[in-house]
Amino acid sequence: MAGDVGDPVRPEAEGATSGGLRERLYPFVVGARRTWGQFTQSRLGVIGLLVIAAITAMAVFAPVLAPHPLEWQAFGENPTFSEAGKLPHPPAFGDPFFAPLGTDSLGHGILTQLIYGSRTALFIGIAAGTLSSLVGVPLGIVSGYYSNSWIDESIQRVVDVMYGLPFLPLVIVLVFINGVTTFNIIMGIVAKSWLNNAIVIRGQVLSLSERPFVEAAEASGASDGRIMWRHLLPNVLPLGFIYLAQDAAFAILIQASLAFLGLADFTKVSWGTMLQWIQVEGYIYTAPWWLFPPGIMIALLAASFYFIGYSLEDVMNPGGGS
């Protein structure tokens, strides 16, 4: 199977002096190349990856792509009474100003906010998804490897307690207690989202622990840490990436929900705060150029992460849907 996508030559065959490091990385390289070769055969996965790449480029080059700075206002800082009455303004292309997606009630450009808001969405999604995996995957490996021990029981009891708590109310409470900042929002999401990682990875490790290669490693005297790092982790890593993508999508939706409820870091522009502001100002039914763009971008980015997760799952378990 791995040969179909071209396995790298083993370090021993190359005779390289850095053989030790390359030997340790070899299982990860093989697994990554195999997964990538199969992943690119999925149309949904490729579409999701292209969309995320485009939004990432938009976030990186926001100062270049945005038609105005964030502080720009259509009629200046002190508009006349008649000018203020025209806000929020529908899309304009140079008469009396350039705002391709119109403005909000303060005259700020919707397109500019949309472009800069991609930074917040990507940061929260990727950070929350990555941290969830960094917590859930190791705990799942440890719990599965030490199954039916006090270590496994302790981890599973924590999981049981956390599963009994509702997600959004828990995040709201944690953010409210610790303060409404981007960091605290990410930590609040991670406090609950790592559970699925730990449970699924544990089940996978329980299955892998019965395989001959693990038993052979144990018989050869390999330490528990070496077995978990060298033999179990490479085999569960693709599964971890599935849940990383899904957790990233869920984090984007949760952050938008928190922002809509007024629990967001309003010092940073985000798609969620754009929706919250239009709701507060009461223009939901009268300013569609303000309402639809952030909603579409939230749905598009979250769907792209889900597409990637779905495609990775199809690679990991091609017969699961039959």
- What is the Cα–Cα distance from 201 to 129, expressed in whole angstroms? 15
- Helix (H) / strand (E) element for 92: namely strand 92-93
Summarize the confidence of residues 274-278 as an average pLDDT. Answer: 90
Task: Give the rounded percent of residues in the chain with a pLDDT score beyond 90.
Answer: 31
| Confidence (pLDDT) at 309 | 82
Return the minimum-mean-pLDDT range out of 29-38, 151-160, 268-277: 29-38
Contact 107, 57 (CB under 8 A): no
Distances from the Cα of 169 to the Cαs of 23, 126, 232, 237, 316, in angstroms? 46, 22, 35, 31, 33
- Render pLDDT for 56-110 as a digit per residue (tens, 0 to 9): 999 999 999 999 999 898 888 888 888 888 888 899 888 788 899 999 988 999 9
| Confidence (pLDDT) at 5 | 42
Summarize the confidence of residues 224-229 as an average pLDDT. Answer: 81
Summarize the confidence of residues 270-291 as an average pLDDT. Answer: 90
Which CATH number applies to 30-73+113-316?
1.10.3720.10
Summarize the confidence of residues 199-223 as an average pLDDT. Answer: 82
Q: Read off the pLDDT band of 25 (50, 70, 90).
A: low
Tell which phi-psi region holds residue 189, choosing left (phi > 0), alpha (psi between -120 and 50) or beta.
Answer: alpha
pTM: 0.80
Q: Would the pLDDT of 290 be above 70?
A: yes
First-to-final CA distance of the chain = 21
| Confidence (pLDDT) at 65 | 93
- Render pLDDT for 234-264 as a digit per residue (tens, 0 to 9): 788 878 888 888 899 999 999 888 888 888 8
- What is the Cα–Cα distance from 272 to 183, expressed in whole angstroms? 16
In the numeric block, the tokens 């000018």 are attached to 83
- What is the Cα–Cα distance from 23 to 132, expressed in whole angstroms? 28
Summarize the confidence of residues 131-139 as an average pLDDT. Answer: 92
Q: Would the pLDDT of 15 be above 50?
A: no
Contact 226, 297 (CB under 8 A): no
Residue 81 exposure: Cα atoms within 13 Å on the Cβ side: 0
Residue 109's beta-bridge partner residues? 103
Return the minimum-mean-pLDDT range out of 50-64, 149-163, 219-233, 269-283: 219-233
Summarize the confidence of residues 183-191 as an average pLDDT. Answer: 89
Residue 272 exposure: Cα atoms within 13 Å on the Cβ side: 28
